[in-house]
Structures are given as C-alpha cells and as structure tokens.
C-alpha cells in the first residue's frame, strides 16, 4: 500500500510542476499509471475479498486510480490554461513594444526630414529666423494647439496679411476662424475648391492664377499628396509682400507644418490605442484595468493573490514639463533597481499617482519592497498604501480604492 500512496502523491506533484512540458508530463503520467496498475493488486490484500464479485474487485483496485488521475489531469489543465493566458499577454506586450518602436522610428524620420528643411531655410534671408521661431512652437504633439495657432504662425511670415483658416472635414473645407473681424463667414466657391484640389503645389497665388480669384494666396496644408488637413486663404496683404521670396518661404514652412501635423496625429492615435503612458516603461490606466481583471481572475480561480502599491504625493502635482520628465526618470530608475521584471509600473494621470503591480505576490511578501522604497519619502513627502487582490476582491471596489473608475 505504501507504493500506492507514493504513486498517488507523485501524480499530484507532477501535475503541479509548471516547468515540465506537456509531452514530458504525459510520458511521466503514463509511466506512473502503468506502475500503479501493476501494484494495484496490493489493495485487495487489505480488504477481505473472498465474497466479492469481480466487478467489486475492479472497483476497489482502480477507483482510487481514476480519482487520482482525474484530479491530477484537471489540475494540469487549469495550469496549462493559466500559462496560455500569460503567454497571450506576453505576446500582446511584444506587439505593443513593436508599435511603440515603429512610432519612435517614424518620429525619428520626421525629425530628420524637418532638419533637412531647416538646413535649406538657414541659407535664406532673415525670414528664416521667423520660420525657425514658429518651428520651435509646433515641435510638439498637441494637434489642437497647432490647429488653433496656425494663422499666428503664418502671420510671422506675412504680418500684413488678412487670412482665414478652413478645416478639411467630411470632404469639404469648413470655416474655422480669421485673423480679422469677419462678420460673415465666407463660403468658398466650387471653382476655388476645385482649383485647390487639382493643383499639386501647396502654395498658389494670384501670380499664378492672375485675376481668376479675388484671394491673394491659397495655402494647402496636406497630410499626403491626396489628403488635406486644411486650407489657409490670404484675402489681402501688402503689395510688397506678394513676391517670389515670400511664396518660397511660405512653401518651406507649409512642408514643415504638414510633417509636424502628421507626426502629431500619429502620436495621438498611437497613444489612444496603446497601453503606454509615455515613451518610458510606464503604462496607463487602461492597461492597469486589464491587469487587475487578469490578476483577480487568477486569485478567484487558483487562490493566488497579487499586490498593489499606490504611491501618491502633493509634490507630484502642478509640475512643469521639465520637472515632470525628471520625476518620471527617477520613478523608472527606482522601478528598475528594486522591482522584478514581472512587476509593472503604472501612472494614474487622474490623481497623479504611481502604481506598482506585483503579480502573484501576496501582500505579506512585499514588506521588504516597502522598506526599500520608503526612502522616497525624504524626497517627495509621499503617502504609500497597499492593496491586495484576492479571491474576495471586487473589480469596482479595487477601482474605487485606487481612485479611478
């Protein structure tokens, strides 16, 4: 009987070994099953089987085996299922890293093209200085800010101009605003729209179309050769500003502006669809919510708890761009030195909190980590709280505890 007990224990132990591959587990399980069946006759020696039927003997001999095998195989099935979920998550993270890598490469390409345009401008006259000033202002990813200040950028090149901006949406140019009081929003004629769409050059002026239109200059802002972002129309400007040099400078600036708008739109789209909060190893609330659901499922199914460390401080709020960059550099450095590679750092932009998720780690096992990061209190006057994800946790309660819903 001792051998039977040992074989039963081995079946359970082998089923819990996640490092053993499925095919190796199958071989070991079959071997243990064969040995069990070989020694199963010892069970009959324990019982008085003189008056029992052959069916009762088979039940006594093999029922423990079937119970043991069923439980072992179920445990193995659940472990394999959990492991597959982890592998799927890793695959999604790898795809996310690839997306971030591509956007960084694209940003680098845009910056390179921008520098090439700048080199051409430097060799020009004093107008290039005005253009460079505008370049520094549009070198960000805030598409709304760029759109709302487009005419201000062009005014630096042609201060005497009266101009209007039309946004291209729903296959039509819609009036947005002007640099002068315009009581009546001008509706563009079909002839003018057709002219803009059929000409490839971004800058068209009355020097090209003579007296066809009353407008002095038509400036097309494009995302690519066939896709428009908007149209700037200069209705009036000083006679001396309407020359080939002004048109050339406007053309350079429009090329650069189009590149930056493309970059800003791509960045905005990528940020909306990705889990990254920034270009560092810090993730956003959307990803945190998905991970909480994942860890809560593991806790309820397998009784394996996870822990969350929430770090908040008034010092994290109302920081300028430089201070915020420095804070994120410090937090990422702390994360890399103290935490494991399986842990994840998130930023709660609603409350300006940093959140550390420690998967498959009970709250009783993180005291050492808490003591290591407690030195941050000397730097920022932080408040550190912990939350455990266990089988009794509820998703909404966890969200509320962490300060988001």
Residue 176 covered by a domain: yes
- Select from 273, 307, 337 the last residue of a domain: 273
Per-residue model confidence as pLDDT tens digits over 102-112: 888 887 887 77
Residues 214 and 318 reside in one and the same domain:
no
Per-residue model confidence as pLDDT tens digits over 196-238: 988 888 898 887 887 788 888 999 999 887 889 999 999 888 8
Residues 234 and 289 reside in one and the same domain:
no
Residues 166 and 263 reside in one and the same domain:
yes
Residues 237 and 162 reside in one and the same domain:
yes
- Tell me the average pLDDT of the chain: 80
Domain ranges, residue 241: 124-273
- Select from 238, 273, 308 the last residue of a domain: 273
Confidence check: pLDDT of 394 > 90: yes
Q: pTM for this structure?
A: 0.44
Per-residue model confidence as pLDDT tens digits over 111-127: 777 776 665 555 454 55
Confidence check: pLDDT of 319 > 80: yes
pLDDT at 318: 82
- Select from 245, 273, 301 the last residue of a domain: 273
pLDDT at 83: 76
Per-residue model confidence as pLDDT tens digits over 262-273: 877 876 776 666
| Total residue length of the chain | 405
Structure-derived torsion over alpha carbons of residues 262, 267, 268, 272, reported in degrees to the nearest 10: 140
Confidence check: pLDDT of 402 > 80: yes
pLDDT at 123: 44
Measured distance CA(60)–CA(56) in Å, rounded: 6
DSSP 8-state class, residue 124: S
Measured distance CA(368)–CA(29) in Å, rounded: 40
Query: Residue 149 is encoded by which pair of tokens?
Result: 């200040």
Confidence check: pLDDT of 389 > 90: yes
Pairing state between β 217-222 and 353-358: unpaired
Q: In what order do the strands lie in the sheet with 217-222?
A: 172-178, 162-169, 228-236, 217-222, 203-205
- Number of structural domains in the chain: 3
3-state class (DSSP) for residue 174: strand
Among 5-19, 146-160, 359-373, 380-394, which is the least confidently predicted range?
Answer: 5-19
Mean pLDDT in residue range 312-341: 87
Residues 52 and 186 reside in one and the same domain:
no
pLDDT at 167: 92
Residues 296 and 220 reside in one and the same domain:
no
Residue 110 covered by a domain: no
CATH number of the domain that residue 292 is part of: 3.30.70.2880
Residue 213 covered by a domain: yes
3-state class (DSSP) for residue 386: strand
3-state class (DSSP) for residue 179: coil
Pairing state between β 228-236 and 306-312: unpaired
Residues 265 and 293 reside in one and the same domain:
no
Comparing 168 with 57, the larger pLDDT belongs to 168
Residues 267 and 141 reside in one and the same domain:
yes
Three-state SS letters, 286-321 = HHHHHHHHHHHHHHHHHCCCEEEEEEECHHHCCCCH
pLDDT at 395: 92
Confidence check: pLDDT of 257 > 90: no
Residues 142 and 66 reside in one and the same domain:
no
- pLDDT cut 70: percent of the chain above it: 78
pLDDT at 357: 93
Do 307 and 398 touch, CB atoms closer than 8 A? no
CATH number of the domain that residue 232 is part of: 3.30.450.40
Residues 168 and 256 reside in one and the same domain:
yes
Confidence check: pLDDT of 405 > 80: no
Residue 115 covered by a domain: no
Query: b/e per residue, 142-158, with b = 16+ CB within 10 A?
Result: ebeebbebbbebbbebb
Mean pLDDT in residue range 371-393: 85
Per-residue model confidence as pLDDT tens digits over 32-62: 777 776 666 665 555 555 666 666 666 666 6
């Amino acid at each position: 009987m001792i051998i039977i007990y040992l074989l039963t224990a081995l079946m359970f132990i082998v089923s819990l070994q996640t490092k053993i591959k499925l095919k190796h587990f199958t071989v070991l399980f079959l071997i243990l099953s064969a040995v069990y069946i070989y020694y199963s006759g010892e069970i009959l020696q324990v019982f008085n089987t003189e008056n029992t039927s052959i069916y009762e003997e088979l039940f006594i001999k093999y029922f423990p085996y079937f119970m043991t095998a069923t439980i072992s195989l179920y445990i193995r099935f659940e472990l394999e299922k959990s492991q597959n979920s982890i592998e799927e998550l890793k695959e999604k993270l790898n795809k996310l890293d690839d997306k971030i890598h591509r956007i960084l490469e694209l940003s680098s390409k845009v910056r390179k093209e921008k520098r090439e345009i700048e080199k051409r401008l430097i060799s020009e006259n004093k107008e290039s200085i005005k253009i460079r000033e505008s370049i520094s202002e549009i070198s960000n990813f805030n598409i709304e800010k760029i759109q709302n200040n487009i005419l201000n950028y062009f005014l630096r090149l042609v201060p005497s101009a009266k101009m209007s901006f039309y946004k291209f949406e729903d296959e039509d140019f819609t009036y947005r605003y002007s640099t002068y009081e315009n009581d009546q929003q001008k509706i563009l004629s079909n002839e003018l729209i057709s002219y803009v769409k059929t000409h490839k050059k971004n800058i068209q002026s009355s020097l090209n179309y003579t007296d066809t239109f009353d407008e002095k200059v038509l400036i097309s802002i494009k995302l690519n050769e066939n896709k428009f972002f908007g149209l700037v129309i200069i209705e009036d400007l000083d006679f001396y500003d309407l020359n080939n040099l002004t048109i050339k400078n406007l053309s350079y600036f429009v090329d650069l502006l189009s590149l930056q708008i493309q970059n800003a739109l791509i960045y905005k789209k990528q940020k909306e669809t990705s889990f990254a909060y920034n270009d560092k190893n810090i993730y956003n609330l959307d990803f945190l919510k998905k991970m909480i659901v994942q860890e809560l499922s593991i806790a309820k199914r397998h009784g394996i708890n996870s822990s969350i460390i929430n770090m908040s401080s008034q010092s994290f709020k109302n920081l300028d761009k430089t201070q915020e960059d420095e804070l994120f550099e410090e937090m990422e450095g702390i994360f890399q030195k103290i935490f494991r590679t399986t842990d994840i750092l998130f930023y709660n932009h609603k409350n300006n909190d940093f959140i550390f998720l420690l998967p498959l780690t009970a709250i009783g096992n993180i005291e050492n980590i808490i003591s290591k990061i407690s030195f941050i209190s000397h730097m920022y006057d932080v408040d550190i709280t912990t939350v455990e994800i266990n089988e009794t946790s509820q998703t909404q309660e966890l969200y509320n505890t962490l300060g988001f819903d």
